[in-house]
Amino acid sequence: MNKKGIFDILEIGIYMFFVIVVSVFIFLAAFKYLNEKIDTTNLEISLLTKRLTYSDSCLAYKDSARVHQGTIDLAKLNFNTLTNCFSKESLGYVVTVTDIAGNVLKSASNLNARQEAYLPICKNVKGYHCIKKKNLVQYYDGNETKTGFVTVEVINLVG
């Protein structure tokens, strides 16, 4: 190769370098925009809680007149009802009802074996996001309606 040839290769190399740098830059900018992370965990747990407490096919208490939305029938709080109410492969949840003093009245879940094992150590398990929410709620204990709390704990496979 003569001197001109070396300079030509160098020239092409430098230009290619600039082109690659700029191309990568544009690609990263576009990729970042198109793959914007959408965190819907909070929204999902709110909707789940609403579904659980508002729907007759879930936990809502129904008397001779109507379905009382926002009132949990303790008799309905079991694995079967939860599974029929809402099931998603990657999402498991635990529902606990306590009285106004905080004493646990009843608890049920739709967790599979893996979710049950991971839930207590969720923070340390990669790819899982757990969230717990507590709400004031009415519950029916078979005799009368009282005020207490419902805690919904969700384990969600995100990655």
Partner 1 sequence: MLDKKGDFGFPFYFFPAVTLLVLTLVFFGIIFFVVEIGKSPNLVIRSESYQDSSKLITVLNSHTKVQQSGVNLTISELISLASEDQNYKDELTSEIKFLLDKLPRIQVGETLADVIIATPASTRETIKEGHWILEIKTNNESFLNIGETQTLANNYLEQLIFIPLSDGNLAEVKLYLNCFACKAEDIDFIA
Partner 2 sequence: MNKKGIFLPLFVFLVIFILTVLVFVIKNTESKKEDLVGLKAITLGKLYDETEKAMLYLDLSGKYSADKATKILADNGGFRADNRCERTQTDLVEQESYVIWNTCPVINPNLEFVEQLKDEIGLYKNNYKSSYRKTNFQAEFGITRQEYLPPVDIPEGVEDIYNYMYTQAIINSNINSIEHNEEEIILTFSDILYPVENSEGSVLILTPKVKVIPTDFTVYSELYSSIQDNCINKNITECKNHLEETYSSIDVSNQDNLIKIKLPAQNTTIKLAFYIDKRIPIYEGNNNNQNLFI
* Residue ranges that bind partner 1, judged by CB under 8 A: 4, 7, 11, 18, 21-22, 25, 28-29, 32-33, 36, 38-40, 42-43, 46, 50, 53, 70-71, 100, 133-138, 144-147, 149
- Using the rule CB under 8 A, is 50 a contact of partner 2? yes
Nearer to partner 2, 40 or 87 (CB): 40
Q: Tell me the window of 36-44, 93-101, 123-131, 135-143 that interacts with partner 2 (CB under 8 A).
A: 36-44
Count of C-beta atoms within a 10 Å radius of residue 87? 11
As measured in angstroms, the least distance from the Cβ of 152 to partner 2 is 15
Handedness of CA 86, 48, 112, 95 (dihedral sign): negative
- Using the rule CB under 8 A, is 22 a contact of partner 2? yes
SS3 106: strand
The pair of structure tokens assigned to 44 is 């999902």
Spatial strand order of the sheet with 104-109 comes to 60-62, 67-73, 128-140, 145-157, 91-99, 104-109
Pairing of β 128-140 and β 67-73: parallel
Count of residues that interact with partner 2, criterion CB under 8 A: 22
Rounded to whole angstroms, how far apart are CA atoms 153 and 113? 16
As measured in angstroms, the least distance from the Cβ of 64 to partner 2 is 7
- Contacts to partner 2 by CB under 8 A: 11, 15, 18-19, 22, 26, 29-30, 33, 38, 40, 43, 46-47, 50, 54, 63-66, 69-70
